[in-house]
Structure 1
Amino acid sequence: MEITLDKHAANEASVKIKLGEADYQQTVDAKIKDHAKKANIKGFRPGKAPFTMVKNLYGTSVLVEEINAILSKSLNDFLKEQEFEILGDPLPSEEDSKSIDWKNQKDFEFGYKIGFVENIELNLDQKIDAKVYEIALSDKEVNEAIDNIKKQYGKMTNPEVSEENDFLYGDLKADDGSYEETLSLPLTSLDGRTVKKFIGVKKEDTISFDPSKAIKGEISEALNISKEAAENLKGDFTFTVQNINRTEEAQLDQELFDKVFGPDQVSTEEAFLEKVKTILSENYQKEIKVFNEEQIKDGLISNHKLDLPEAFLKEWLIRANEGKVSNEDVEKEFPAYAKQLTWSLISNKISKDNDIKAEHEDVMEKTKEMIREQLASSGMGAQLEDNMDMFLQNYLQGNEGKNYMQMMTSVQNEKVLDFVKSKVNLKEEKIGVEKFKELLEN
């Protein structure tokens, strides 16, 4: 056997593997003899068919199987010895496989394309163009959260006369007869001038308006209809009221406290407000943590421009997905893929250089935290904590073990980022919720 490597570019190479008869024939003959002992061929007692006949029947398939096994092991062992980092999987030459004469050929040559990166040099002493943020809640966010809770747990009523924040249920018709539908119209979706027409109306009242001019934002979202239907809502329409729906806000009393947080968890309005504020703050801190980490990743990626084998990776993505993605799909998604791959390479390098490992206990604890959050959001946390081990086992063993590996990767990333934070000098800034939303949009 002969294996050669040809680096024809800074990040791509070809590998050739030459096999002679001596590399495979002994094993192939042994496997054919094993087949002969078990073969049940018409005209012969089981295991008594001539070796030559068995070889004619099974020889080619055994040969292909054995050579593929030799190639796989040899190529993997060879690449493990290299100092560069292999990306994707080796791509076998399609021309080689088409030209093989398995019946008559004794010597074989196989070619592979590989993509790689080498000499990943990290410098955590460089200034990272990233800023980490801390969110400061204002009374506005807390009050909005309280208002939403009061509406969510409020009671639905059907008053006789409409008011500003009601929902009107009724028939929307085009004057020219081209459109008619029964739907719910939220008065909060109407502009200031039009909404006045809908305040103070009663059942069976009819109001004329132009939905395309009166409704703020996306009409399809406001009326819960398709975008195609929304495109037809232009011109003169009438809305005939069938019913008026109003949500009366819940009172800040013990009944509401128990509904939101469970029986006897909160007993005063002050404690309720404080608990809402705490949960709201925790939720925003989780969001800002993810945002900050992405900022740090982007800064590290910008400081470490890796020379990725772009052409190779695009070809590998297409061939690996076996026709499920097109060239256009790969071109569109490649920048995001390249960014994630670069971060993965940087993260692995930091882990290796600094002996950072995700331990089994870390994975278990992180998974428990995730499960507790999910149970708490469903209001079942306290009742199901006793069954944590069952939930933990079911999740980590699910998805054919991929869930465990995903959690391990997540833990590893967190440890790497914590290490980076301890090494680099990051700018810090305290911002409000509105500013944070602007950052997310940008």
Structure 2
Amino acid sequence: MNITSEKLGNLDLRIKMEIVEDDYKERVARQLKEYQHKATVPGFRKGMAPMGLIQRMYKSSVVADEVQNLLGERLYKYIDDEKLELLGSPLSNDEMTPQPDFAHETSFVFYFDAALMPAVNIAWDKVDVKLAQVKVTAKDAEKQVDYLTRQYGKFESPETVEAGDYIYGKAVELDKQGQVKEGGVQSFVSFELPSVKDEEIRNSFVGKKAEEKVTFNVAKAFSTADVERMFRLDTAAAKKLKGDMELTISGCSRITPHALDEELFERVFPGEGVKTEEQFRKAVGRQIEQANAEQCEILFVNQVRKALLEQFDAELPEAFLKRWILSRSKDEKLTAEQLDADWAEKYLPGMKWELIDGALNKIERIDPSHEEVVSRIKELIGRNAGREEGEDDAAYEKRIGEAAESIARDGNNSRQVVDQLYLHKTFELLKKQLKPEVEKISAKEFEERAKA
């Protein structure tokens, strides 16, 4: 077999593969021999049909199969041997490749198009991103303590609504005459009464029971973000919803907060030896700091990612990449015209980041290894899985290890862990390269930056 390649411009590559009979005849002979042993042909006992008959019946299809198998094997071996770094995978050039006649020809020529990976140079000195650190205030800690006491509190379903209750029911939009608006918003909603902004509206719910109705102005009662969540609307639709709504109460629920005692401390921080309220509040503070640190990692990576995408100036073989996407897409409705329209916003940023990711991996591996994934899953399982009765250390480690291996092998179950590890390793690499200035900010400032 003869394989050659020719550069067409800076990145486009054409690969020519010439196959002759000597390349595949032994494979074909073996396959036909197997067919002869297994074939049931009228007039002959099983496995006794003459080879000439078997060849007339099956040879052309066997040649086609073996040539295709050979193409795949040798094409990727050539790519490895030549150390070609490609974008995507080679595509058959059907216009240049002659239609093969496997019944009458013995030599074949195939052409493939490919694209070389462009060089990606990262100008670290042009990336100016600070590492945010969210300050934990006493108010933040107290809010979390309140949340935890409610989370582990006693749940009740009272008949009558009181000031701190959780209310649920069907809300319908009204017209200016106070009637149900035709084509208006209707949804089953739920909300905490303290989240209602207007005091008069809040008080109008107190004392109500199931099946009773309350009319209120939605814009006065809730923020746009709350309206989006409650009615499952996009931002534009939520902003337009400003009139009156009528809520038919289905019921309410009430939580009696858990006392700040050792039972709560152990449930929230099992096995950590938290015994006093002071220790509990300190542990809550550390918990908030850890959660904030993880969110700050995400923000930092996203900000650096944006900066790296903005400075990306490597040439891309767009014509080839579009062909490649169309050839692999599972969306039957995707057309070349739609791909062109969505290219700049939907596809190009992802392509650029894949190349930047490759450049980062050359500096230091950030793609999580199987061992790292298993180790992380074992850690997560260990937090929640206690020892079985009579189980020693070795048996416990074996059981947890086997469970972690099983989860890691299942791509769907381990995807979240893989993504978290990838994000953290990316953060560590970017921090090492950039040595960013640490900037302490409030939780509100963090939220604003995260939305930007």
Identify which of 360, 363, 377 aligns with 1:347.
360
The answer as to 2:187 corresponding to 1:188 is no
Residues 222 and 76 of structure 1: CA distance in aligned 2, closer, same or farther (over 3 Å): closer
Partner letter of residue 441 of structure 1? K
2:296 counterpart of 1:283: no
Give the superposition deviation at 1:61.
1.6
Instruction: Tell me, in whole angstroms, the C-alpha distance in 2 between the residues paired with 1:97 and 1:259.
Output: 69
1:215 aligns with 2:225: no
User: Does the residue aligned with 1:334 lie in a helix, a strand or coil?
Assistant: helix
Q: Do 2:169 and 2:248's aligned partners in 1 also have CA atoms closer than 8 Å? A: yes
Counterpart CA distance in 1 for 2:400 and 2:83 is 44
Alignment partner, residue 438 of structure 1:
448
Distance 2:38 2:211 in 1: 88
* Pairing partner for 1:427 from 410, 430, 437: 437
Displacement of 1:127 after TM fit? 4.3
Amino acid at match of 2:141: V
Aligned with residue 179 of structure 2, among 173, 176, 187: 176
Determine the C-alpha separation between the residues in 2 that align with 1:31 and 1:240.
74
- Would you say the 8 A contact 1:162–1:198 is kept in 2? no
- Give me the whole-angstrom Cα distance separating, in 1, the residues matched to 2:136 and 2:298: 18
> For the Cα contact (< 8 Å) 1:186–1:222, is it kept in 2?
no
CA shift digits 1:155-199 (9 cap, x unpaired): 345778755433456776765366999875643353426425516
Asked if the contact 1:258/1:265 (under 8 Å) is kept, the reply is: yes
Q: Match for residue 148 of structure 1?
A: 147
Report the Cα offset of residue 259 of structure 1.
Answer: 3.6
Please give the residue correspondences for 1:151-300 in structure 2 after superposition, counting only pairs within 5 Å: 151-156=150-155, 163-168=162-167, 175-176=178-179, 186-192=192-198, 194-195=200-201, 197-198=203-204, 201-203=207-209, 209-217=215-223, 224=230, 245-262=253-270, 265-300=273-308
CA–CA distance in structure 2, aligned partners of residues 293 and 235 of structure 1: 41
The Cα offsets for residues 272-325 of structure 1, whole Å up to 9 and x where unpaired, read as 111111111112112222332344444555555332322222221221234456
The answer (yes or no) to whether the contact 2:301–2:426 under 8 Å persists in 1 is no
Number of aligned residue pairs? 430
Deviation at 1:146, TM superposition (A): 1.0
- Cross-structure match for 1:392: 404
RMSD (Å) for aligned C-alpha atoms: 4.3
Structure 1 residue 437: deviation in Å? 1.6
* AA of the residue aligned to 1:147: D
Percent identity among equivalent residues? 24
Among 344, 365, 375, the residue aligned to 1:365? 375
Alignment deviations for residues 10-56 of structure 1 (CA, whole Å, 9 cap, x no partner): 22122121223343335424432443344331111233322221111
Gapped regions of structure 2 (runs ≥ 5)? none
Kept in 2: contact 1:160–1:244 (CA 8 A)? yes
Confirm whether residue 318 of structure 1 aligns to residue 326 of structure 2: yes
> How far apart are the structure 1 equivalents of 2:119 and 2:187?
65
Aligned match of 1:58: 58
- After superposition, the Cα gap between the structure-2 partners of 1:304 and 1:388, relative to the gap in structure 1 and judged at 3 Å, is same
Distance 1:234 1:340, change over 3 A: closer
Question: Residues 410 and 101 (structure 1 numbering): CA distance in 2 closer, same or farther, change over 3 Å?
Answer: farther
User: Does the CA-based 8 Å contact 1:36-1:51 persist in structure 2?
Assistant: yes
Measure, in 2, the Cα distance between the counterparts of 1:425 and 1:258. Answer: 39
How far is the alpha carbon of 1:143 from its aligned partner?
A: 1.4
AA matched with 2:93: S
- For residues 119 and 164 of structure 1, the distance between their equivalents in structure 2, rounded to whole angstroms, comes to 63
Deviations 1:200-238 (A, max 9, x none): 545489676344444313598589556599999886665
Letter of the structure 1 residue corresponding to residue 445 of structure 2 = K
SS at match of 1:85: coil
2:351 aligned residue: 338
The more displaced of 189-198 and 60-69 is 189-198
Assess, with a 3 A threshold, how the Cα gap between structure 1 residues 120 and 227 changes in structure 2: closer, same or farther: closer
Whole-Å separation in 1 of the counterparts to 2:244 and 2:251: 22
Contact 1:12 1:116 in 2 (8 A): yes
Describe the shift of the 1:64–1:182 C-alpha distance in structure 2 as closer, same or farther (beyond 3 A).
closer
- Compare 86-95 and 202-211 and name the one that shifted more: 202-211
2-side partners of 1:245 and 1:415: how far apart?
43
Report if the CA contact (8 A) 1:19-1:109 is conserved. Answer: yes
**Scaled by the length of structure 2, what TM-score is found?**
0.77
Change (3 A) 1:243 1:64: closer
Separation of aligned partners in 2, 1:266 and 1:64 = 71
State how far apart, in whole Å, the 2-side matches of 1:397 and 1:218 are.
Answer: 43
